[in-house]
Amino acid sequence: MNKSIILASLLAAVALAACGKKEEAAAPAVAPVVEAAKEGAAAVTDAAKDGAAAVTEAAKEGAAATADVAKDAAAAATDAAKDAAATAADATKEAADKAAEAAKAAADAAKEAVQK
């Protein structure tokens, strides 16, 4: 759009110069338009930079939150596995003790049977 305005004003200036007429109002009007366009472009660029920075920050925060949740879940899973292993070990010890008592009772019964 800026190029179109500049090209149109140059074309008008050439046409007026070819006719031998002076260009009075066109030249002063172009400079403010070009300056306003530059300022508008700078504002758009700044807004885009700010938006990109905000998106980047939000992505970082989201990734950090996801990592924290994953760490917490892993810790909970580890604790559950430890508890399950301890329970299994206790159950195994208890079963082994009962098996040993049963074997001792069977041995005592066999011993008594032999003595009679």
**Residue whose C-alpha is closest to residue 32's, from 2, 8, 58, 53:** 2
Q: Mark 36-67 as b/e (b = at least 16 C-beta within 10 Å).
A: eeeeeeeeeeeeeeeeeeeeeeeeeeeeeeee
Is the sign of the CA dihedral 92, 97, 102, 104 positive or negative? positive
Angle ∠(107,88,85) on CA atoms, nearest 5 = 145
**69-110 tens-digit pLDDT:** 999 999 999 999 999 999 999 999 999 889 889 888 888 888
Quote the tokens at residue 54: 């905000």
Question: pLDDT of 20-43, one tens digit each?
Answer: 655 555 455 556 667 878 888 888
Full-model pTM? 0.45
Look at residue 72 in the predicted model and tell me its pLDDT: 92
Return the structure tokens found at 104.
């001792």
67: confidence class by pLDDT, cuts 50, 70, 90: very high
